[in-house]
Every structure is written in C-alpha cells, then in structure tokens.
Homo-oligomer: A and B are copies of this chain.
Amino acid sequence: MAEEQLTVGIIGCGLIGASWAALAASAGYPVHAWDPEPHARKHFPARVAAAQAQLSELGMTGKADVILVDGLQDVARDCRWIQENAPERLELKTALLAEIEAAASAETIIASSTSSLLWSDLASKLSRPAHFLLAHPFNPPHLMPLVEIYASNAGIRDRAIDFYTRLGRVPVCLKREAQGHIANRLASALWREAVNIVAEGIADVADVDRALVNGPGLRWSVIGAHMAYHLGGGAGGIAHYLQHLGPSQERRWADLGTPKLTPEVCQLLTNGIAVEAAGRSIGQLEQERDAALIARLKLRNPVSAS
C-alpha cells in the first residue's frame, strides 16, 4: 500500500495532535481527527492553521483537508495510519489503544506519541502488537525534526521510517525500548546538572541557559556529543580522546551533582526564570523560540544529521 494515499488519523487533538495534523496536511495527507474534549476540539482548527503557516515558511505547502470527525470509530474506519496523542497515563492509553485497534482494520498501523511510557506496557492489551509502534515527536512537534521510533516488527519500523520522512521528519530508531527514549534521557541528564549548578550557587538560571545556548547547545545543533569528542581528540579522534582524556571524563562524571527538587531549589529555578524571561510572556517566548527555530531549520546542514 502506498503511504501517499493514506488518510491519517489523529486521536487526541491537543498541541501535539494539532502539530501532527498540520504536518500531515502540509505533506499532502488528508487528516481525520477526533478528541473527546470540547476544549481541544474548539482550539484544534486554529492551532492546525498556525502550525501550517509556519510549515509553509519551511516549504511544506500542502493543503490536504483536515476534518474533525464525531468519534473514534470514524477515525478507525477511515484511516490506515493513526497517531495517538492522549495524556501520559498508562491505563488510559492502553484502553484507548485497544479500542482503536478493535475498531480498525487488520492492516491499520497505530502509532503512539508517548514520551514516557514503554512499548511493551502499551502493547500489552493489543491483539496485533506488531502493527503498533512508538513515534515520539519533540516539542514543538511540527518544527523539531526528530521523531523517535520503536517498533517490534522490522517491516513496520521501515514503513514508519518512510512515513515520518515523508512528513519532513528525521526518524531515529531505538534498538530496544527505554524510559524517555533517547532525547529525553539526554535532556534529563543535562537538566539534572543544570539544576545542580543553580542549587550549588555556581551560576544563576539565566547564565546557565546563556552558557548552553552560546556553547554546547549551539555546537550540538551541528554535531552530536559523540562526534564532538571525536573532534576534541585532534588527529587521533575519539580513540585518542578516550585513551588520554577518558580518565579525566570519569573524574568529571564523579563530580556531577544529584540535586533534589526541594521547595528551595524549585523557588531558585522559578525566580531565575522570571529574571531570564524579563517580562516576556510564555506566548511571546514561544513566538521567539519558533522564529529562531524556523531560521535555523531553513539552513538544513547539521553535520551529524545526514
């Protein structure tokens, strides 16, 4: 079956569902979407339109129809690729996924956007687990290229790589499932030390963020962490680095912090963000973030991304 003739189903029409709907429509796929919550349904069309306006700046100018349907059954009947974006609660998601599967045809592929749950837990109640996969986007999903994929079946995994590539994403596959997949494990590890630096009084929130954005963050938008140490090893590359500087890295690892999010630490973080935001609202910061991301995405030349 050619994926380009798919109608894409969206279950859960919050920010993530709206992003997926915009991506699919801008890539030329018709979308049928459903959410049980009136609030999500109400804001969905405007969110999809706003995301599509940003995508058109990036050359994704498709205008396939996006339709809000009346029930899960309608999505399951019409769509052969269904993206689930329900809240991150295991019982809710397993019940919902079983309901989608029961209403869908046998060949339908169901993908979950889960950021924190495991494939094996989510698939535990399904009759056709091979047709179920994780496809986790990174916020904001219509701008960030990364989609992390875990599928138990190699054929379904390959179809997922093809499908998300057609949505303009960069799919990265996990060899085995892991809490937080890859990117949120990395983000969590970095943030732990970012919190520690504030808690220990080494630097303020705004200065930690400024150091990251003007230092490692900028570099990691171009080359990955492993590649950075390869280039840090000089002519001998990573083998030289590991041999000569591996022990000093292990000593540095031992010196990293293990902070707790105590009320005092939370207050430091909250106060620090107020300084960094400098009066800018969440909406204004999001607009600045998106504009800066779009400018970078137009460059499309990271070294580690090919």
Contact = CB atoms under 8 A, between A and B. Distances in A.
Interface of A: 116, 138-139, 144-146, 148, 170, 172-176, 178-194, 196-198, 200-232, 234-235, 237-239, 242-243, 246-250, 252-253, 255-256, 258, 260-261, 266, 269-270, 272-273, 276-278, 282, 285-286, 288-289, 291-293, 295-297, 299, 301-306
A230 B288 CA distance: 14
Given A211-B148, A212-B224, A225-B209, A186 B193 contact: yes
Given A206-B224, A217-B217, 8 more contacts: A138-B215, A146-B218, A172-B214, A183-B216, A185-B193, A212-B225, A216-B220, A230-B282
Given A188-B252, A194-B186, A296 B213 contact: no
Contacts of A223: 209, 213, 285, 289, 292
* Chain A interface helix/strand/loop/mixed: helix
Contact of A210 (B211, B230, B305): B305
A300 B82 CA distance: 39
